[in-house]
Structure 1
Amino acid sequence: MNTDLRYLHLLSNTYPTVADAASEIINLEAIQNLPKSTEHFLADLHGEHEAFIHVLKNASGNIKRKVGEIFGNTIRETEKKELCTLIYYPEQKLELIKAAEEDLDDWYRITIHQLVRVCRDVSSKYTRSKVRKNLPEEFSYIIEELLHERTDDQDKAAYVAVIVDTVISTGRADDFIVAICNVIQRLAIDQLHILGDIYDRGPGAHIILDTLRQYHSWDIQWGNHDILWMGAAAGNDACICNVLRLSLRYANLATLEEGYGINMVPLATFALEVYGDDPCEEFIPKLLKDDGRLDEKTRHLIAKMHKAIAVIQFKTEAAIFNRRPEWQMNDRNLLEHIDFTNQTCTIDGKEYAMKSCHFPTISADNPNALTPEEDTLMKKLHHSFRVSEKLRKHIRTILSHGCMYTICNQNLLFHASIPLNDDGTLKNVEILGKSYAGKELMSYIGQLVRAAFQSDTPADLKEYAKDYFLYLWCGKESPLFDKSKMATFERYFLTDKSTYQEEKGNYFKLRNSEDVCDRILDAFEVTGANRHIINGHVPVHASKGENPIKAGGKLMVIDGGFSEAYHSETGIAGYTLVYHSRGFVLVQHEPFTSAQDAILRGTDIKSSTQIVEMSAHRMLVADTDKGEELRSQISELKDLLYAYRHGIIKEKRN
């Protein structure tokens, strides 16, 4: 008997008799022989909530594929499309169908039977117990009966028909259809992995997080944009400025104002007062499409707000860089190197021409000092972020569901990079006087991020942790940035475009090497013949022929440009990686029109699939991390059986 006796006594409270323990062993052994459930991987959502929610609803095209397989040529393609749209958007689609359908009861009968067949298929990988737990309480018994009885069984055909007819005659057909469609969506994806960057660029990051808060099983590997918002929520003023600047750059204030109630009026008032006569041409918002949603006056107001917060950002960043000299980022304090007379800025000993030197709030004697008005404005903005209950709630959600990396079923997941030396070995990064590399670095950063939000964190460590969000956003050795510099100042203010270049770190230069990927996987103790690294962060330029599968299949980069801002650059609208019992499938998506268009016209995201890796045999639960966990539980239960049978522990009979 290998299990600690104290643990067996605790286990006996759950399984008080030999019969209970034996039954659970039988159950767990059986579960191991079910097919591996489906995992979905998405990265770099960047606030594109409609496309994200649609991908969840259609399971990256998996539901459409299953409908095609189940019904084949027995129903028309238009009927398949209608059925899929109903599964994705049941409430909205029902309203349209009820307005157009003449024999509604007949449509209800046909549709309910079709939905039951689809539900039966997506539930086939799970135990009855797990399926039951995912059923809505009010229809649990009915759905379970329909799933496990077939109309081709002559003895049960009338029984099934009466159930369906009674659902219709009691006026519950609409509610039943909505319920079973939601069950199909839920069972089509067992585990969702978000590889970072929920925030920025798109309008609905808060809607994505509201959706995830209700989702059954998901995790997140924090991205640089998530970290930026976490820093803002923790009270880092430089992060607050960066969040505001990015939102203004894309004319996207919905998440700030509608999502989190951030009051933008003080910034607008300040910007009009200080930059009223400045055209701020370099700060005109980057509109994703010319849809007329902003008039000229609004665009120029946003441009002035954009410049105002950018200048304050450079000042607040300088204060942190000066406070943390060990980061060696004082070279980014570029306001100090502006020659206002000659309108130049000196970088690395070389002078570059400025586009403009109109900086009414910058003093040549003390360029990094906030004016009294800027200081007052920052206090108001700081307060607005700190009192946003919904922002705090969402950041708590990100903290509770994620970290810097995770390992799942022989796959190492992280957002951006692992710092490497020139020769591909793991780079030591110093934090608070200690060096960390690889797994230890990522783990310690995760602890440091959490320390910024804990009330029991020592004051000096908490202040450092709060500052460190800025380093994670733009530090050279940050695994979420890993570039030579962030050239924001240069792009806004310098004419020489050569200064805009941000040299990528060694991870991005060397990640196509199988040896380098193996070294990283070894360092993170990822074992197995079919192990992989999966990350996002850098968009894959599919239109230029770039392949998201790298290092001989050991690395998969699934940032295909989910954000609308990247569509023209990447040529596509994102990837979804699907890992099911047969292996890996990469789904390449074209741009999503809108949920409304999907409901009215039955449009779906056009997707193409690429088989990445197929397993020689169909993978079972026994082949996964869950299988390893089940084997451990079975071993412990067998020890409990031994203890019962040999009188070491007494059975607890009533």
Structure 2
Amino acid sequence: MSDLETRYLERLSELYPTIAAASTEVINLEAILNLPKGTEHFLTDIHGEYEAFSHVLKNGSGAVRRKVNDVFGNTLSSQDKQTLATLIYYPREKMDQILKQVHNREDWYKITLYRLIEVSKRAASKYTRSKVRKALPPEFAYVIEELITEKVDVRDKESYYSAIVATIIRVGRAKEFIVALSELIQRLIVDHLHILGDIYDRGPGPHIIMDKLMSYHSLDIQWGNHDVLWMGAAAGQKGCIANVIRICARYGNLDILEEGYGINLLPLATFSLDMYGDDPCACFALKGTNTCSPSETELNMKMHKAISIIQFKVEGQLAKEHPGFQLENRNLLHLVDCKTGSICINGTVYEMLDSHFPTVDPQDPYRLTPEEELIMERLVNAFRNCEKLQQHMRFLLAKGSLYKVYNGNLLYHGCIPLNEDGSFREVEIYGRKCKGKALYECLDSYVRQAFVAIDCEERKKGRDICWYIWLHENSPLFGKDKMATFERYFLADKETHREKKNPYYSLLEEEDTARGILREFGLSEEDGHIINGHVPVKSKNGENPVKCNGKVLVIDGGFSKAYQKETGIAGYTLIYNSYGLILAAHEPFESTEAAIEKESDIHSESIIIKRVSNRKLVGDTDIGCRLRAKIVDLEMLLEAYHTGRIVEKFPVRGI
């Protein structure tokens, strides 16, 4: 052995100090390789819709119902199986409802406990006992393990289990035990969660979703453009901060900032009333399904206009500061003629819907007023010093990236920038030219530098790249020729609102494009899949989420209620289990109360994308590859032990 190999095996021997310990681990790992592959759950474009997200997380996009059906088949009615599934999703709330109606609580407890035990057994069957044990709630760990573990040596198994269940009921722990079993089933049904971006904006609860994700047992996140926008804001990037506040104001969600993150918007509110007190701000009407009072709505609209004007100024300064970004053509404030109420863009004069800009100096339109400067300084400090926001962003950095290769699939939120001929578009980032996979990795690195770079200049570059990613046509997370925010607010001509998409979105229908992308990221052109978020699939117009003969799956979840009129449904989620890929279409989510009372489930239809002839095992996955490599290392260690090159380390007992 080389010195390096010897040092490595010496370190490994600290973890496995004896032949027995190393051999046991090899046996354990070989056993794991032959278990069925764990279920992966894919969600995207959640957009702050906490209730719908929470429900889909609880039901595993239909995985819980499938498991209940596998266990009970035709032995239970459809209604009983749906009631049991709803109980698993919402154990406390559903129990409260049922117990008001049942005559014999003890019988109901007994029947329900037996049913949940059977579902738990099936859910646990694809894991090692060690992994299941780690998932057990501490309070009931021993008892649950006894109930879901097959007892070969117990002569009268039925009496044994009955005695345990009877004792649980007799000592008054049945309700808590049902909750524990239901939560265990939820935990075991999905082994790993993938979030393909856009946790933030539009809906009212992104901060609640982030709290939920931070407690989830296993997940990864592919950043969306809205997530990177919030990351830039948390890093103190002024353009990102202005956009975040503008979008929150637009959807009546400023309480996300004020109550969710404790960011003080009072200076902005006061300034808005001072500057736009008599201005109806009609172009800044709220969107979405907000429930603001008339007075709140009026203030929101004024704040919406105030922060929008600040945003256009700040972005004008950024475009001038970064000529390499080539965004000067998006600076439009200096083209406004407030006297005539018009603007000239590319030689065409348009009448403006609103030209009341009391804070814009025609001689220097992109200069912030002293009041605006002070507001932005306070907001930068507030975003940078908000501990909860920083905690959420650190979690996005730790668990997230711009793309992910996982078990033969390529996951990303937006697009791979392409030229019209389908070739990868070369993009210049701070003087470095890159394309395809290299572009993703370059941008990913800069986003991280916004938070961790020691050099101040590099950290600033990272902050500004977050803004670039948000709105640049060559950004993989945007991919349109312009972000027409200004035009949508101030111009009636719909043609000025049009944002031309990158060729990726049309070429993605061609199999050669999908194969080229898979090849670029080192994946099999035959067996690999691209799983893509970002663009809602308009099902009501006949658009299909499955493209290129199943190589590309566009699964924009459509959680955002703002999109559901366009799509006709609440979008898609994806399940990848040991039998194959299942695409789940969803109906709009009514409410948690309706899900409990009516037992309504937003999962409506499943489409089998790919079914394997032989059930996939852990050994067929990325984890399997890592486990095999570990087995090779352990077998090298065993050989070193057997040849005497490394000495076993037995514990020395004191006398």
Measured against the shorter chain, the TM-score band is: over 0.9
Tell me, yes or no, if the aligned pair for 2:202 and 2:288 is still in contact at 8 Å: no
After alignment, is 192-201 or 560-569 more displaced?
560-569
Query: Take 2:642 and 2:235, find their aligned partners in 1: how far apart are those partners?
Result: 56
Q: State the Cα distance separating 1:386 from its structure 2 match.
A: 2.2
User: Who is 1:566 aligned against?
Assistant: 563
User: Who is 1:138 aligned against?
Assistant: 139
Q: Secondary structure, in 3 states, of the residue corresponding to 1:192? A: strand
AA in 2 matched with 1:181: S
Give deviations 1:450-504, integer Å, cap 9, x for gaps. 11111x5211111111111111100111111111000000111112211111010
Q: State the Cα distance separating 1:560 from its structure 2 match.
A: 4.2
Q: State the Cα distance separating 1:78 from its structure 2 match.
A: 2.8
Tell me, yes or no, if the aligned pair for 1:535 and 1:557 is still in contact at 8 Å: yes
AA in 2 matched with 1:372: P
Tell me, yes or no, if the aligned pair for 2:43 and 2:557 is still in contact at 8 Å: no
Q: Secondary structure, in 3 states, of the residue corresponding to 1:219? A: strand
AA in 2 matched with 1:539: P
After alignment, is 35-44 or 135-144 more displaced?
135-144
AA in 2 matched with 1:26: I
CA gap of 1:359–1:394, structure 2 versus 1, over 3 A, is same
User: Who is 2:353 aligned against?
Assistant: 355
Q: State the Cα distance separating 1:152 from its structure 2 match.
A: 13
AA in 2 matched with 1:309: I
User: Who is 1:587 aligned against?
Assistant: 584
**How do 1:367-406 residues align onto structure 2 when only pairs under 5 Å count?**
367-406=365-404
Q: Secondary structure, in 3 states, of the residue corresponding to 1:59? A: helix
Give deviations 1:375-434, integer Å, cap 9, x for gaps. 222223223222221111111111110111110001111110111222212222111211
Tell me, yes or no, if the aligned pair for 2:288 and 2:561 is still in contact at 8 Å: no
Decide which of 516, 520, 544 is 1:519's aligned counterpart: 516
AA in 1 matched with 2:284: F
User: Who is 2:458 aligned against?
Assistant: 461
Decide which of 479, 482, 493 is 2:479's aligned counterpart: 482
Q: State the Cα distance separating 1:154 from its structure 2 match.
A: 5.5
Query: Take 2:162 and 2:467, find their aligned partners in 1: how far apart are those partners?
Result: 63
User: Who is 2:310 aligned against?
Assistant: 312
AA in 2 matched with 1:115: L
Tell me, yes or no, if the aligned pair for 2:529 and 2:552 is still in contact at 8 Å: yes
Work out the number of aligned pairs and report it.
650
Query: Take 1:532 and 1:606, find their aligned partners in 2: how far apart are those partners?
Result: 23
User: Who is 1:262 aligned against?
Assistant: 263
Q: State the Cα distance separating 1:99 from its structure 2 match.
A: 3.2
Query: Take 1:10 and 1:153, find their aligned partners in 2: how far apart are those partners?
Result: 43
Q: State the Cα distance separating 1:528 from its structure 2 match.
A: 6.5
Tell me, yes or no, if the aligned pair for 2:46 and 2:557 is still in contact at 8 Å: no
Tell me, yes or no, if the aligned pair for 2:283 and 2:354 is still in contact at 8 Å: no
User: Who is 1:440 aligned against?
Assistant: 438
Question: Is 2:609 the partner of 1:612?
Answer: yes
Query: Take 2:448 and 2:203, find their aligned partners in 1: how far apart are those partners?
Result: 26
Tell me, yes or no, if the aligned pair for 2:42 and 2:575 is still in contact at 8 Å: yes
After alignment, is 591-600 or 211-220 more displaced?
591-600
For the aligned residues, what is the CA RMSD? 1.7
AA in 2 matched with 1:450: R
AA in 2 matched with 1:162: A
Query: Take 2:154 and 2:350, find their aligned partners in 1: how far apart are those partners?
Result: 82
Query: Take 2:247 and 2:560, find their aligned partners in 1: how far apart are those partners?
Result: 14
Question: Is 2:530 the partner of 1:529?
Answer: no
After alignment, is 40-49 or 439-448 more displaced?
439-448
Q: State the Cα distance separating 1:182 from its structure 2 match.
A: 0.7
Q: Could you list the runs of 5+ residues in structure 2 that have no partner in the other structure? A: none
Query: Take 2:557 and 2:109, find their aligned partners in 1: how far apart are those partners?
Result: 40
Q: State the Cα distance separating 1:149 from its structure 2 match.
A: 3.3
User: Who is 1:99 aligned against?
Assistant: 100
AA in 2 matched with 1:333: N
**How do 1:33-44 residues align onto structure 2 when only pairs under 5 Å count?**
33-44=34-45
Query: Take 2:363 and 2:149, find their aligned partners in 1: how far apart are those partners?
Result: 79
Decide which of 515, 540, 543 is 1:546's aligned counterpart: 543
**How do 1:417-436 residues align onto structure 2 when only pairs under 5 Å count?**
417-436=415-434
Tell me, yes or no, if the aligned pair for 2:519 and 2:525 is still in contact at 8 Å: no
Q: Secondary structure, in 3 states, of the residue corresponding to 1:100? A: coil
AA in 1 matched with 2:253: N
Decide which of 489, 493, 497 is 2:490's aligned counterpart: 493
Q: State the Cα distance separating 1:354 from its structure 2 match.
A: 1.4
AA in 2 matched with 1:4: E
Query: Take 1:39 and 1:254, find their aligned partners in 2: how far apart are those partners?
Result: 34
Q: State the Cα distance separating 1:313 from its structure 2 match.
A: 0.5
Question: Is 2:602 the partner of 1:601?
Answer: no
User: Who is 1:473 aligned against?
Assistant: 470
AA in 1 matched with 2:131: K
Tell me, yes or no, if the aligned pair for 2:443 and 2:465 is still in contact at 8 Å: no
User: Who is 2:207 aligned against?
Assistant: 206
Query: Take 1:154 and 1:76, find their aligned partners in 2: how far apart are those partners?
Result: 32
Q: Secondary structure, in 3 states, of the residue corresponding to 1:453? A: helix
Decide which of 287, 292, 295 is 1:294's aligned counterpart: 292
Q: State the Cα distance separating 1:644 from its structure 2 match.
A: 1.0
Q: State the Cα distance separating 1:178 from its structure 2 match.
A: 1.1
Q: Secondary structure, in 3 states, of the residue corresponding to 1:609? A: strand
